[in-house]
Structure 1
Amino acid sequence: MVLTGTLVNTGLIIIGTLLGLLFHKIPERTKETVVQAIGLAVVVLGVQMGLKSENFLIVIGSLVLGGAIGEWLRIDEKLNRVGEWLELKIGRGHPSNIAEGFVTATLIFVIGAMGVLGALDGGLRQDHDVLYTKGLIDGFTALVLSSTLGIGVIFSAIPVLVYQGAIALSAVAITQFVPDAILQQFIVEMTATGGVMILAIGLNLAGITKIRVANLLPGIVMVALIVTGLELLGFN
């Protein structure tokens, strides 16, 4: 089934979150250290992804234009509002940080090449190995995040399901209309651009910065536009 990988990925996030909630009594100092450790590991992942670029000017241009659009649209603010709404509905009566958990986990699980590549593989070849691997990583990350940030992490499964599911379902149409050369370069530069965002998430988790990463998300769309434009103009 086309959506098998996406459904498994989503399920592992939910399972990881529920397991993490069982360990919520971990001492605060331990939680802080663990989250910082995850942040540093995410930084390394982001650097590795960022170095995959074959034309870093595309990455810079995409992030600059995408960041400007994101600030104009106030994506970070709107995502936080969704989280705060969830917090009001579910966190009523006891202290929680549902908004932070939802936004942080959503950005970690959605940004990156594995979701796109895995969804494309699932849609085109019924091969779900990439999403199975991503699901294991996401599940473990959800376990640790939810032990610190709480139940809000579980709601990140919804955008993962919608985002990856949409790509998988439209994979055949994508390959019919998008030349292979453009698709391959898009994947490479999207990986690098997503890596910079992942790096920013890691720095935020480690408590080093407070970057509004969600406002950089339009950068992924800008990668597609820039890569297509360069191909049409004959610069590739």
Structure 2
Amino acid sequence: MIGTITNTATVIAGSLLGLLIHSRMPRKISGIVFQAIGLFTLVLGFTMAFKSDRYLIMIFSLVLGAITGELLDIDAGLNSLSDRLKTRLKISHAGFTEGLITAFFLFCMGSMTILGAFEEGLGGEPTLLMTKAVLDGFSSIALAASLGVGVLFSALPLFLFQGGLTLFASWLHELFTPEMIAALSAVGGVLLVGLGLSILEIKKIKIANLLPALIFITLLAYIFP
């Protein structure tokens, strides 16, 4: 868990620095930074999405995940949870929920998250997660400067998700093949493309309602190797 703990610490440190910048940043600058983040998210998502050519199980996973997520209404649940946290902590920033969810997806849907967690979970040195920690630290500065304090609180779900993947890999590592991990990363890339479209305000997509697709792609890649 050393990699995840380090990653969480760099996000917290970067977010705090970004919040200091945020209070002094002109609105037009924060706007263009936000657009740059959206464009980067699109590029990252497309890059990841094409790492696997198992398109049939990918589309089935996305469709089944979308139906499941919509029935459970995960997006509304996450927003409600974030709003309650915002109220309890008496945070007045209007973009708290958006910042938290956007940062969580950017930090947790990348291939380095999955591969790095599996690397450490399988007993290797957390090289990928240490590299990711540095990248996320710098990214959190820009994100917090543009989106505000919600980015800081994304460190908690980052720790739970990435740490959970690491423990999961240590328990069930024999089940996962490189092809399964590639397919999982590819679906994560599709979710990032959707996030990029939402950030750029091209199309608002409930990315949280697509999260079950990550479970379905894992199951389908295992059933159909």
**Residue in 1 that maps onto 2:209:** 215
Superposition map of 1:124-135 within 5 A: 124-135=122-133
Instruction: Please report how far the alpha carbon of residue 204 of structure 1 lies from its aligned counterpart in structure 2 after TM superposition.
Output: 1.3
Aligned-pair RMSD on alpha carbons?
1.4
Cα distance between partner residues in 2 of 1:55 and 1:82: 35
Residue 190 (structure 1) aligns with: 184
Q: Extract unaligned runs of 5+ from structure 2.
A: none
Instruction: Say which of 145, 148, 169 aligns to 1:147.
Output: 145
Distance 1:145 1:204 in 2: 15
How many Å apart are 1:153 and its aligned residue?
A: 1.0
Aligned to 1:199: 193
Mapped to 2, the partners of 1:37 and 1:156 lie a distance apart of 20
Identity %: 39
Deviation at 1:186, TM superposition (A): 1.2
Question: Aligned partners of 1:143 and 1:207: how far apart in 2?
Answer: 22
Counterpart contact for 1:123–1:170, Cα < 8 Å:
yes
SS in 1 for 2:122: helix
- Higher-Rg member (1/2): 1
TM-score (norm 2): 0.94
Deviations 1:161-192 (A, max 9, x none): 1122122223232124x1xxx52221111111
> In the alignment, is the contact (CA less than 8 A) between 1:91 and 1:98 conserved in 2?
no
Question: Are the aligned partners of 1:83 and 1:100 in contact in 2 as well (CA < 8 Å)?
Answer: no
Cα distance in structure 1, aligned partners of 2:168 and 2:67: 28
| Larger mean Cα displacement after TM superposition, 83-92 or 131-140 | 83-92
1:33 Cα deviation (Å)?
0.6
Gap regions ≥5 residues in structure 1 = 232-236
- Alignment match of 1:123 (pick from 118, 121, 124): 121
3-state SS of paired residue (2:203): coil
TM-score calculated relative to the size of structure 1: 0.90
Secondary structure of 1:125 counterpart: coil
* Letter in structure 2 aligned against 1:134: K
C-alpha separation in 1, matches of 2:76 and 2:31 = 25
